[in-house]
Amino acid sequence: MKSIITLNVNGEMHEIAVNPWRTLLDVLRDDLRLTGTKRACEQGACGVCTVIMDGKAILSCLTLAMDCEGHFISTIESLASSEGLHPLQQSFIDNGAVQCGFCTPGVIMSAKALLDENPNPDDTDIKEALAGTYCRCTGHIKTVEAVKKVAGSNREVK
C-alpha cells in the first residue's frame, strides 16, 4: 500500500505517494524526473546514483525513499545556478574529466560532498571520495585531477 511522503530535494518540498520498496533513485528519476542521477549496477558498486543527503555522499539505489523524509537531499541538478556552473562542473569540463558523461553526475556529487566537508583535501582524500565511483572512460585520472584543481584553488583562496 502506498504512503504519502514528503521529500526535500534540492530545497523544494515534494509530496509523493510511494510503495515501501521504491528506492530514492526510483523516486528521483521516475517520479520527480530528475534524471541527472543515473541508474546502473544498483548494488552499490558504481556510484552513478550518488546524491548528497545531509551532507554525505550516498547511494540512492540502496536507500529506501521512505527513509528519506526529514532529510536534505541534493542532486546534480542543484549545482549550477543562474550565475553559472559550479566550480567542480567547470573544472571537469576544462580538465577533460568528462567523456561519455554517464558517471559524471555521480562523480561530481561525490566530489562536492568531499569539498563541502573538507575544502582542502589531499590526494588520498580525493581518491578515497571517488573510489566508490566507476569511470571507465577517464580511468579515474582526469576526474581526480579536476577535483584536485578545485581543491587547489580553495587552498589559494585561503
Partner 1 sequence: MPHKEKDFSVIGKRQPKLDGPLKTKGRSQFTDDIELSGMLYGKIVRSPIARGRIININTTRAESLSGVKAVITNKDCPGVKVSPDRLLLCSDRVNFIGDEVAAVAAIDEDTAAEAAELIKVEYEPLTAVFSFEDATAKDAPVIHDECKNNSLDEYNIDFGNVDKAFAEADHVRIGECIFNPNHNCFAEHHVVIADYSLPGKLSIWTPNQSPLYVQKSMGGVLGISESNVRVFNLNTGGAFSGRIGPRQQSFIAAILSQKASRPVKIRCDADEEFVVYPGGGYFKYIIKTGVMKDGTIKATEATYLFDCGAYWNFAFNVLLRCKYHLIPQVYHMEAMRWNERAVYTNNPPNMYPHGAAFLQLKLAQETELDLIAKEIGMDPMELKLKNAVAKGDTTLTNIHYASCGLKESIKKAAKKASWKKKFGKLPPYRGIGIGCGAMNSGGPDKSGALIKIGEDGKLSLFVGLPDMGQGSHTAMAMIAAETLGVTIEDVEVVAGDTNSAPFDIGAFGQRGTFFTGNAVRLACLDAKKQLASSAAKKLGVKPSQLIFCDRKIFPAKAPEQALLFKDIVSETLHSKDGKHIMGKGFYHTSSPTKEPWVSTLAYSFGAQVAEVEVDPDTGIVILLKVTHAHDVGRAINPLAIEGQIDGQVFSGMGQILSEECIMEKGKVLNPSWLDYRIGRSFEVPELEYDIIETNDPYGPYGAKEVGEGPIVCTMAIANAVNNAIGIPVREYPITPERVLHAIKEKSKK
Partner 2 sequence: MRLPRFEYLKPSSLHECLELLEGSGHETRVMSGGTDFLVRLKQGVISPQKVLSIRSVEELNFVSEDDKGDLQIGACTNLSDLLRHPLVLTKFPSLHHAINSVGSKHIRNMATIGGNLCLAPRCWYYNQTKQWRHAIEVCYRTGGKVCHAISGSKRCHAINSSDTVPMLIALDARVCLQKKNSERWLSLKDYFKDDGRHHTVLEKGEMLTSIVIPSETQKARTTFIKIQHRIGLDFAIGSIGASVKSNGKEINLSLVINSINSAPLILNKAAQIIMESGFSKAAIDKAAEVARGETGAVTNLFTSAGYKRHIVEVLVKQALSELKLMQGKGGTKH
User: Please, which residues have CB within 8 angstroms of residue 60's CB and are 6 or more apart in sequence?
Assistant: 23, 24, 25, 28, 37, 49, 50, 51
Q: Cβ closer to partner 2: 15 or 21?
A: 21
Q: Cβ closer to partner 2: 44 or 101?
A: 44
We find the least distance from the C-beta atom of residue 153 to partner 2, in angstroms, to be: 22
| Cα distances (angstroms) measured from residue 108 to each of 4, 85, 120 | 31, 12, 16
Residue among 81, 141, 145, 75 at smallest CA distance from 112: 75
Instruction: Name the grid cell of 62.
Output: 540502496
148 binds, among partner 2, partner 1, none (CB under 5 to 8 A by kind): none
62 is an interface residue for partner 2 by CB under 8 A: yes
Residue among 149, 157, 48, 64 at smallest CA distance from 107: 48
127 is an interface residue for partner 1 by CB under 8 A: yes
51 is an interface residue for partner 1 by CB under 8 A: no
153 is an interface residue for partner 2 by CB under 8 A: no
Q: Cβ closer to partner 1: 63 or 138?
A: 138
115 is an interface residue for partner 1 by CB under 8 A: no
